[in-house]
Amino acid sequence: MNAERTTKTIAAALLQAEKNLKTIRAEIAGAFDLDYDISPSTMERLAEYQAAVKLYRNLAKMVARGIEKGNLEERVADKLADMQENLFYQGAGGSTSQISNGVTEIDRKQLLRAYGTLSGLAQS
């Protein structure tokens, strides 16, 4: 596993997620300033970008610790196993709240994207 490539890939994903989050926050702030309604899809994008930032920040910390401790491959393998388990067992809507179910689905989608990124790095 190439530590430099892994670091750059996760950093680029985090940077993109942070840019997306900053953009949607500005869009929402502008809508409030202009007294416009905020659509449900805008709120979904906000939740999606927040989930992505949180996930990629955690991955970046994990990669940094793995490089520092010299066990990056082991940490990535463990993280991939955890992600697989979460994707398999995480419910796809067990709540009576549509909002809660929506957030669960958003978290699942971001976890799946991050899993794809990380597993691709682990195989290289």
DSSP annotation of 37: -
Other CB atoms closer than 10 Å to residue 50's CB: what's the count?
19
Q: Of 45-49, 53-57, 92-96, give the lowest mean pLDDT range.
A: 92-96
DSSP annotation of 1: -
The domains of the chain are located at 3-122
- pLDDT score, position 86: 83
Residues 67-107 have pLDDT tens digits of 999 999 999 999 999 988 888 876 655 666 777 777 778 88
- pLDDT score, position 94: 62
Q: How far apart are CA 113 and CA 6, in angstroms?
A: 15
Q: How far is CA 76 from CA 14, 53, 69, 82, 103, in A?
A: 17, 18, 13, 10, 25
Give one DSSP letter per residue of 71-112, joined into a string: -HHHHHHHHHHHHHHHHHHS-SS-SS-HHHHHHHHHHHHHHH
